[in-house]
Amino acid sequence: MIKQVCKGAATVAAVVALSACGGTGPNGAEPPESPSPSATAAASPSGVAATPGGSGGKADALLSGTWGTSTGSVLLRVRGRAVEMASAHRCQGKVAEEDGLHVIRLTCDDGNTDRSVGRVYGLSADGMTVEWEGLGADSFERAG
């Protein structure tokens, strides 16, 4: 029984290896086109690697918490999908997955729109970069 399983696994591995190298697939058919690069291979305009988001995935757990810029001028608090920002402006909003990235959408109490839409790149346990539409990027470190 074990010999049959190993032989079957070797056959599957050989088929996978051959199809990954190009050429024809089983029965002489062309293999399907490769999927487009994943979000982890994408980069922001500033060249920081993107980090995919996902419902209930590891990236969501990483994003939750309090984040601050090194200058202390911007503080983000993420709880689930709710986001609060404290800076020269007090803002609230939501984070959602769009095109494989976490996107923060904020509305400020005073109507300021400097940081109304931001895309999260390079998310790790200790830091992230948020590229704000029309403003540029802020680098954040976990504050708590």
Residue range 4-16: mean pLDDT, rounded: 36
Residues in the chain: 144
**Amino acid in position 75:** L
Residue range 109-128: mean pLDDT, rounded: 96
Q: What is the pLDDT of residue 30?
A: 42
The C-alpha atoms of residue 10 and residue 86 are separated, in whole angstroms, by: 57
> Per-residue confidence at 80, pLDDT binned at 50, 70, 90?
very high
- Note whether 137 and 46 are within 8 A (CB): yes
Residue range 49-64: mean pLDDT, rounded: 57
CATH topology assigned to domain 39-142: Lipocalin (2.40.128)
Q: What is the mean pLDDT of the chain?
A: 72
* Domain range list for the chain: 1-34, 39-142
Q: What is the pLDDT of residues 120-131, one digit of tens each?
A: 999 999 999 999
- Note whether 120 and 52 are within 8 A (CB): no
> Per-residue confidence at 61, pLDDT binned at 50, 70, 90?
confident
Compute the C-alpha angle 84/66/126, nearest 5°: 140
Q: What is the pLDDT of residue 59?
A: 56
pLDDT at 143 over 70: yes
The structure tokens listed for 138 are 């802020």
Residue range 78-92: mean pLDDT, rounded: 96
pTM of the model: 0.61
* Residue percentage of the chain with pLDDT more than 70: 58
